[in-house]
């Protein structure tokens, strides 16, 4: 086997490994989000899918191929929402803006708030009052184990909270588009709200 053949074989091997890596990532961090997304679609709430995932440029073609297979193809995802600019990664901006106070899992603040209800809609509504934020504001909604990021109005999240929060095993974040504030519910049913810590831009 000459040098060109070895190089060609190595390139093919790398592409196979990359395809396996991408497919395994999709299985873990995207596939099961479809159940959540179907629940969101069932509400007919106005929303925008602003980020499918943060990926490397060389991974995009494998994502594109997978999105044209079942069960993804029926959603007609905008593949332009595959972000390959690390500085524009919304998930990274979240973690940068709200450093975790717990080294083992995400916890944006140690301050435990008063819970006025056991209903998500009433809890979120109370937190928004404490934060003094406009219910007509557009915000990001994220289920942290998964890569997609949604944008919708805060008022609509409260209106459809029963459906949006009917996933007890998920860490769920609502945050301002500029990451000025955050509302968080952990899979352990821990609720938090806070503003971005002073000194973090």
Using left for φ > 0, alpha for ψ between -120 and 50, and beta otherwise, residue 127 falls in: alpha
pLDDT digits over 39-57, tens only? 999 999 999 999 999 999 9
Q: Tell the residue number behind the tokens 């080294």, with chain if given.
A: 103
pLDDT digits over 141-150, tens only? 999 999 999 9
Instruction: Compute φ and ψ for 102, nearest 5 degrees.
Output: -120, 125
- Give the C-alpha separation, 83 to 55, whole Å: 6
Q: Give the global pTM.
A: 0.92
Q: Three-state SS for 63? A: helix
Q: What is the model's pLDDT at position 168?
A: 86
Alpha helices for 84-180 (secondary structure H): 90-97, 120-131, 154-159, 161-164
DSSP state of 87: G
Q: Tell the residue number behind the tokens 């007509």, with chain if given.
A: 136
Contact 130, 193 (CB under 8 A): yes
Structural domain boundaries in the chain = 3-195
Q: What is the model's pLDDT at position 13?
A: 85
Q: What is the model's pLDDT at position 115?
A: 93
Q: What is the model's pLDDT at position 3?
A: 66
- Give the C-alpha separation, 162 to 121, whole Å: 7
Which residues in the chain come in under a pLDDT of 70? 1-6, 8, 10, 201
Contact 155, 124 (CB under 8 A): no
Beta-carbon neighbour count of residue 127 at 10 Å? 23
Label residues 134-166 b or e (16+ Cβ within 10 Å = b): ebeebbbbbbbebbbbbbbbbebbbebbeebbe
Q: Which helix (H) or strand (E) holds 192?
A: strand 191-195
> How is residue 136 written in tokens?
């007509």
The vertex-52 CA angle with 169 and 137, nearest 5°, equals 80
> How is residue 79 written in tokens?
């593949």
């Amino acid at each position: 086997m000459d040098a060109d053949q070895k190089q060609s074989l190595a390139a093919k091997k790398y592409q196979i490994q990359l395809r396996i890596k991408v497919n395994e990532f999709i299985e873990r961090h995207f596939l099961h989000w479809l159940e959540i997304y179907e629940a969101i679609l069932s509400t007919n709430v106005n929303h925008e899918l602003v980020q499918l995932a943060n990926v490397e440029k060389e991974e995009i073609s494998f994502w594109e191929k997978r999105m044209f297979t079942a069960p993804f193809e029926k959603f007609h995802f905008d593949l332009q929402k595959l972000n390959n600019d690390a500085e524009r990664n919304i998930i990274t901006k979240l973690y940068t803006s709200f450093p975790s106070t717990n080294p083992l899992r995400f916890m944006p603040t140690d301050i435990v708030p008063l819970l006025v209800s056991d209903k998500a809609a009433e809890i979120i509504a109370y937190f928004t009052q404490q934060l003094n934020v406009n219910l007509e504001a557009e915000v990001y909604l994220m289920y942290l184990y998964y890569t997609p990021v949604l944008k919708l109005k805060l008022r609509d999240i409260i209106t459809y909270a029963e459906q949006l929060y009917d996933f007890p095993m998920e860490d769920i974040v609502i945050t301002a588009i500029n990451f000025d504030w955050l509302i968080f519910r952990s899979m352990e049913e821990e609720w938090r709200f806070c503003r971005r810590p002073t000194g973090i831009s």
